[in-house]
Amino acid sequence: MKKSLSILMLVIASLSFTACSLDDDDATNFKYVNLKVISADVPEAFEFGGKYTISVTYANPNTCTYFEGFDIHKHQLTEREVYPIGTELTGNDDCQESTEEVEVTFDFEVIYKEDYLFKFWTGKNVDGEDEYIEIAVPVNE
């Protein structure tokens, strides 16, 4: 009985050491990309303490890119740079260019009494500099 139990424990231990493989062949098959904003729908004014849904339309570059969310950078107290983020599958020869325009939203809460400036990323210019659609929104108290 002890011999059977020892053999069973040895088999279980050896399987647990070989169950996972850490081969270098496991390559990442996606990358994160910024998605170019075409337009944004922002209220004409905010109320201090209010909560709003902001709509953003972006250009989907191909059939292998999927929306993941937003990256919103705060550079000054009430200035926000908004980047839609996508996951693009790599190593897939079936990807087709796309002209699809996709509308997505994010929620925004007004926590400052100063006017807000939103800068929605539209891509890079010929000099490689970021370009934005800028929308200023006043805050009413």
Domain of 110 in residue numbering reads as 29-140
**Which phi and psi angles does 2 have, rounded to 5°?**
-65, -35
Total structural domains in the chain? 1
Is 80 in contact with 72 (CB distance < 8 Å)? yes
Q: What is the pLDDT of residues 98-127, one digit of tens each?
A: 889 999 999 999 999 999 999 999 999 999
Residue 7 in any domain: the answer is: no
What is the pTM assigned to this prediction? 0.78
Measured CA to CA, the distance from residue 56 to residue 105 in angstroms comes to 6
Give a yes or no: residue 41 inside a domain: yes
pLDDT in tens, 14-55: 555 444 444 445 567 899 999 999 999 999 999 999 999 999
Taking alpha carbons only, the member of 70, 61, 62 closest to residue 104 is: 70
2 occurs within a structural domain: no
Q: Read off the CATH number of the domain in which 135 is found.
A: 2.60.40
